[in-house]
Amino acid sequence: MTILDKKLETAKTVLILGHVRPDGDCIGSCLGLYNYLETVYPQIKAQVCLEEPAGKFAYLKGFDQISTLFPQDTSYDLCLCLDCSDESRLGEGIRGLKLAEDSICIDHHITNTKYCRENVVLPEASSTCEVLFGLLDEEKITKETAECLYTGIVHDTGVFRYSCTSSKTMEIAGKLMDKGINFTEIIDGSFFRKTYVQNQILGRALLESITFLHGKCIFSVVRLKDMDFYGVTSKDLDGIIDQLRITEGVHCAIFMYEIEPQIFKVSLRSNTELNVAKIAGFFGGGGHVKAAGCTMSGTIYDVINNLSGHIEQQMIQLEGQKKEKEDDTCTTE
Ligand code: AMP
Ligand code: MN
Ligand code: MN
């Protein structure tokens, strides 16, 4: 019996929370768990609370049951925090966690602060959906639950491309496919399909991108006024960082968008040993070694200057380590 089952045996009311600006893994894991509870623990009253989720995930069962209003004074028996590395990333959900009798965090961020009573954190897992799969009874996963979990895995692995994808990830994806899900539509519909304006803003961000540190870094920014001009929100900016990352010769990609005047949500991606979780962590954010994020304030110039200082420092360190290794092999040979 897993720790999750043990706690669910006695809980009557369950609150499911994720992180601010929920992504595919966050929404997929929250709804995957919600649907699982509905079939396996029908006596439990469960509620998913998240910030406004993107409409492209509306095909997931339970999507219309997500509440964007967070509990203010209701005390749930058990609070489950998914895909969220620290308390501050729960946003308004923090109150629900504090009021709950008991809590479990299910996550895969290396920067997780283990802020719940029980914490199931597997940094080697591709996604929270992968961690969650390991806690569920495979036989009891319905097609609808499988759709949620598959969606999360697809989003956090960039459709099985990122280095977080393991043979275990593929095995789990295969088992979810065996539940009869329409995987091609999930991948096209929720990951690749773009509206006309989403393509326009992607094009604009690529056109205005700049490279620095001898082409090893690429950077682009979308300002509030650009978002207003195209009539887009932050949810329309998915995929821009992915395209920047695959630019030939690039070691590190940076994409940021303005959330308030001179306050930027920053995304960092690495193609090398460069640890972007460390850089994001320095600026109060977090994430994974090769994909991390943080919020920074100041002018665009300030932000980029601060980030590039840290990137360059790590690059010099890595170069030094590489050289030391080479020298070692030379002397031992
Ligand atoms: P993003 O660039 O927003 O796609 O995020 C990349 C990874 O870093 C995801 O796993 C996020 O959960 C994590 N992340 C992004 N922003 C933050 C932040 N401010 N604090 C902690 N983790 C973050
Ligand atoms: Mn996430
Ligand atoms: Mn995740």
The per-residue pLDDT string of the chain (333 residues; one tens digit each, 9 = 90 and over) reads: 999 999 999 999 999 999 999 999 999 999 999 999 999 999 999 999 999 999 999 999 999 999 999 999 999 999 999 999 999 999 999 999 999 999 999 999 999 999 999 999 999 999 999 999 999 999 999 999 999 999 999 999 999 999 999 999 999 999 999 999 999 999 999 999 999 999 999 999 999 999 999 999 999 999 999 999 999 999 999 999 999 999 999 999 999 999 999 999 999 999 999 999 999 999 999 999 999 999 999 999 999 999 999 999 999 999 999 888 888 877 655
Ligand 3 mean position to 190 CA, how many Å? 16
Quote the CA–CA distance of 175 and 150 in Å, as a whole number.
Answer: 10
Ligand 3 mean position to 333 CA, how many Å? 44
What pLDDT was estimated at residue 31?
99
- The token pair that represents 241 in the structure block: 């960082």
What pLDDT was estimated at residue 333?
56
Q: Among 109, 132, 153, which residue's Cα sits nearest to residue 293?
A: 109
Q: Which ligand number lies closest to the CA of residue 266? A: 1
Nearest CA to ligand 1 atom 21: 286
What pLDDT was estimated at residue 325?
87
Cβ atoms within 10 Å of 186's Cβ, excluding its own: 25
Nearest CA to ligand 1 atom 6: 292
What pLDDT was estimated at residue 329?
77
Quote the CA–CA distance of 21 and 2 in Å, as a whole number.
Answer: 29
Q: Contact at 8 Å (CB) between 315 and 250?
A: no
pTM: 0.94
Quote the CA–CA distance of 252 and 114 in Å, as a whole number.
Answer: 28
What pLDDT was estimated at residue 306?
98
Quote the CA–CA distance of 94 and 88 in Å, as a whole number.
Answer: 7
- The token pair that represents 170 in the structure block: 């593929």
CA 109 to ligand 1: nearest atom: 10
Nearest CA to ligand 1 atom 11: 287
Burial of 41 (0-12, 13-18, 19+ CB in 10 A): middle
Distance of CA 321 to the CA centre of its chain: 30
Quote the CA–CA distance of 226 and 268 in Å, as a whole number.
Answer: 21
Ligand 1 mean position to 45 CA, how many Å? 30
